[in-house]
Amino acid sequence: MILRDKPSWRELAFAVRGSIITAVGPKVIALMIYAGFMVWLHDQITGFPDIDGVAFTVFGIALSLFLGFRNNAAYDRWWESRKLWGGLLADVRSFAREAELFLPEPVDRERVIRLMLAFMHLHRVHLRQVVDDPRARELGAEFLTAPHPPCAVLDRINALLAQARQAGRLDGFGAKALAERLGSITLQQAGAERIVKTPLPYVYSLLIYRTTYLYCLLLPLALVTPAGWLTPFFVGIVGYVFLGLAEVTEELSHPFGTTPNGLPLDAICRAAEISLAVHLGDPVPEPLRAKDFYLS
C-alpha cells in the first residue's frame, strides 16, 4: 500500500512510486509511435480514411462507463478484504484478552496466544502464496507441511482448549467464549480465502483490454485531420488514462498481493505482534514503517 500525503505539483508531475506509469508506460509509448505512423501515412496516401469524432465520443463514453463499473467492483473487493483483516486483528486481540480471563494457567495462555500469532502469519503467506517466509517459518514451522497451515494452527488451539476444559483448567463459560472467538476468526479467514479463490470474471479483463486497445488504435483516424502531428500526444493521454485505470482495477481486484495497491498484511501482522507482546511478556516490536512510501 502506498502511503503519502496530498501530492504537490512536483510530485504530480514526477512521482513514479505509487503511480501506474511503470506498468502502462511502454504500452502508451507504443501507441504514440503507432499514432505517429498513422499521421505519416495520412500525409503520404491520398484518400486516407477519416472517421467522424462523434462516433469516438460515444465509444469513449461507453468505455468510460464500463471501466467505472469494473473499478467499483474491484474496489469493493479491496475494501471488503481490508475490513476482513481489520476484523481479524480485532478478534485476535480479543482472543488474547479472553485467554487472560479464562485460562488461569500461564502455560496454557502462552501456548494458545503464540499459536494465534503463528496463525496470523501463516494466514498471510497462504493468501499471498508465499513459498518461504522467515517469520512464518519461525513461528509455525511445524505447520508448514500441513495441507492447510492456518487451519492446522486453529485446530491445534482448539485441541489445547479442549484439553484444558477436560483437565478443569477452563470452565464452561470460558470454553464457550473462546470457541465463539475461534468461530469469528474462522469466518474472517474464510472470507479472505473466498476473495482469493473467486477473482473477477476473466471476461471482464478480456473485454476491457480488447475494447481499450481497439479504441486507442482507431483514435488516430479521428484525430489525424484536426490535430495533425499532435495526434500521438492526444493518443498517449487517452491511452494513459484508459490503460492506467484498467491496470489499477487489476491490482485492486487482487488485494492480498504485494503490488503498490495491495493491502499491508505485513504491517497488520506486526500490529498483532505488538498487541500480543504484552500478554506474552515479550519485548514490544516497532511498527512497520513505509519504505519509499510503500507499506507491505
Could you tell me the three cell numbers for 275? 498487541
Statement: residue 58 has pLDDT above 90: no
Q: What is the pLDDT of residues 221-266, one digit of tens each?
A: 888 888 889 999 999 999 998 898 888 888 888 899 888 888 999 9
Could you tell me the three cell numbers for 137? 517459518
Please name the helix (run of DSSP H) or strand (run of DSSP E) that holds residue 171, with its range, or none. Answer: none
Task: Give the orientation angle of helix 106-128 with respect to helix 265-280, to 10 degrees.
Answer: 170
Burial 36-50 (b: 16+ CB within 10 A, else e): bebbeebeeeeeeee
DSSP output for 161-193: HHHHHHTTSS-HHHHHHHHHHHHHHHHHHHHHH
For a pLDDT cut of 90, what percent of the chain falls above it?
52
Q: What's the distance, CA 236 to chain centroid? A: 28
Q: What is the pLDDT of residues 60-71, one digit of tens each?
A: 888 888 888 888
Contact 200, 254 (CB under 8 A): no
Instruction: Report d(CA 17, CA 292) in Å as an integer.
Output: 8
Higher pLDDT, 123 or 53: 123
Residue 241 backbone class (left: φ over 0; alpha: ψ -120 to 50; beta: rest): alpha
> What's the confidence (pLDDT) of residue 18?
64
For a pLDDT cut of 70, what percent of the chain falls above it?
93
Q: pLDDT confidence of 13, banded at 50, 70, 90? A: low
Q: Where are the domains of the chain?
A: 9-280
Instruction: Report d(CA 282, CA 250) in Å as an integer.
Output: 40
Instruction: Please report, as a single letter, which amino acid is at residue 134.
Output: P
Q: Within 10 Å of residue 81's Cβ, how many Cβ atoms? A: 22
Q: What is the pLDDT of residues 94-115, one digit of tens each?
A: 999 999 999 999 999 999 999 9
Q: What is the pLDDT of residues 164-194, one digit of tens each?
A: 999 999 999 999 999 999 999 999 999 999 9
Please name the helix (run of DSSP H) or strand (run of DSSP E) that holds residue 5, with its range, or none. Answer: none
Is 190 exposed, middle or buried, given 0-12, 13-18 or 19+ CB atoms closer than 10 A? Answer: exposed
